[in-house]
Amino acid sequence: MRIRATLLLLFISTIFFEINAQNQGISFEAITSKKILGINETLRLDFKMNKDGDNFSPPNFDGFRVVGGPQQSVSNSWINGKRSFSKVYTYFLSPLKKGSLSIGQASIEIKEKLYKTMPVKVIVSESVSINNDPNNSNYLVNENLHLVAEVSNTNPFLNEGISVVYKLFFSPQINVTNVGEIDSPEYVDFWSNNIKIPRLQIERGSYKGDSYNYVIWKKMVLYPQKEGELNIKPLSLDVSVDVPTSKRDFFGNRIYTQIPKTVVAGNRLIKVKPLPKDAPSNFSGAVGDFKIELLSSKNQLNASESFQLTIKVKGSGNLKLFSTPDLSVPSSLEKYDPEHNENITTNLGGMSGDISDTYTLVPQFKGKYPISPVEFVYFDPKTKKYKSTFTKEIVISVLEDPSSYSQNNKVKVLSENTNSISNSQNQFRFIKTKPGLIKLKSQNFIYSTLFYILIVMPLIIIFVLLVFFKFKKVSDSDLKGYKSRRANKLAKKYLSEAKINLQKKEVFYDALERALHNFLKSKLLIETSDYSKEKIKRLLANKNIQIESIELFVKLIENCEYARFTPASNVAINNDYENAVNIISEIDKQI
Count Cβ atoms within 10 A of the Cβ of residue 272 and give its class: 0-12 exposed, 13-18 middle, 19 or more buried.
buried
Angle at 380 between CA 379 and CA 383, to 5 degrees: 130
CATH pick for 23-125 out of 2.60.40.740, 3.90.870.10, 3.20.20.140, 3.20.20.80? 2.60.40.740
Length of the chain: 591
Is 3.90.1690 the CATH classification of the domain at 470-590?
no
Element containing residue 522 per DSSP (H, E): helix 505-524
Distance, in Å, from the CA atom of 231 to the CA atom of 437, rounded to the nearest integer, reads 99
Scored b (16 or more CB within 10 A) or e, 425-439 reads eeeeeeeeeeeeeee
Q: Which of 410, 399, 412, 419 is nearest to 307 (CA)?
A: 399
pLDDT value at residue 160: 94
> How would you write 350-408 as a 3-class SS string?
EEEEEEEEEEEEEECCCEEEEECCCEEEEEECCCCEEEEEECCCEEEEECCCHHHHHHH
Contacts of 63 (CB under 8 A, 6+ apart): 95, 96, 97, 101, 102, 124
Domain map (residue ranges) of the chain = 23-125, 137-272, 288-398, 470-590
Record: fold of 137-272: Immunoglobulin-like (2.60.40)
0.75 exceeded by the pTM? no
Count the Cβ atoms, other than its own, within 10 Å of residue 291. 13
What is the DSSP-derived secondary structure letter of residue 214?
A: E
Strands (E), 249-318: 254-265, 268-272, 288-296, 300-301, 307-317
Residue 182 CB burial class (10 angstroms; 0-12, 13-18, ≥19): middle
Q: Write the burial class of residue 259 (CB in 10 Å: 0-12 exposed, 13-18 middle, 19+ buried).
A: buried
* Residue 376: per-residue pLDDT: 95
Backbone angles phi, psi at 321, to 5 degrees: -115, 15
Q: How many CB atoms lie within 10 A of CB 324?
A: 20
* 46 exposure class (CB count in 10 Å sphere: 0-12, 13-18, 19+): middle
- Give the DSSP H or E segment for 518: helix 505-524
CATH 2.60.40.740 fits 288-398, yes or no: yes
pLDDT number for residue 10: 53
Nearest CA to 389 among 487, 480, 280, 502? 280
Residue type, 248: R
The strand pairing partners of 257, in sequence order, are 243
Q: Which letter does DSSP use for residue 109 in this model?
A: E
Chain-centre distance of CA 396, in angstroms?
Answer: 51
Same fold across 23-125 and 288-398: yes
**What per-residue confidence (pLDDT) applies to 240?**
83
Output the tens digit of pLDDT for each of the chain's 591 residues: 555 655 555 555 544 444 443 445 788 888 888 888 887 778 888 888 888 888 888 888 888 887 767 777 777 776 666 767 788 888 888 888 888 888 888 888 887 788 888 888 888 887 666 555 556 677 778 888 899 999 999 999 999 999 999 999 998 888 887 888 877 788 889 999 999 988 888 899 988 888 999 999 999 999 999 999 998 888 888 888 888 777 776 677 777 777 888 888 878 899 999 999 989 989 999 999 999 999 999 888 877 788 999 999 999 999 999 999 999 888 888 889 999 999 999 998 999 999 999 999 988 888 888 998 999 999 999 999 999 999 998 998 988 765 554 555 544 444 444 444 444 445 445 455 666 666 655 556 666 777 788 888 888 999 888 888 877 766 555 555 555 556 566 667 767 777 777 777 777 777 777 777 777 777 666 655 556 677 777 877 887 888 888 888 888 877 777 665 566 666 677 777 788 787 777 777 776
Angle at 427 (CA atoms; ends 421, 431), nearest 5 degrees: 155
E strands of 54-116, at which residues? 54-57, 64-79, 82-95, 99-103, 107-110, 113-116
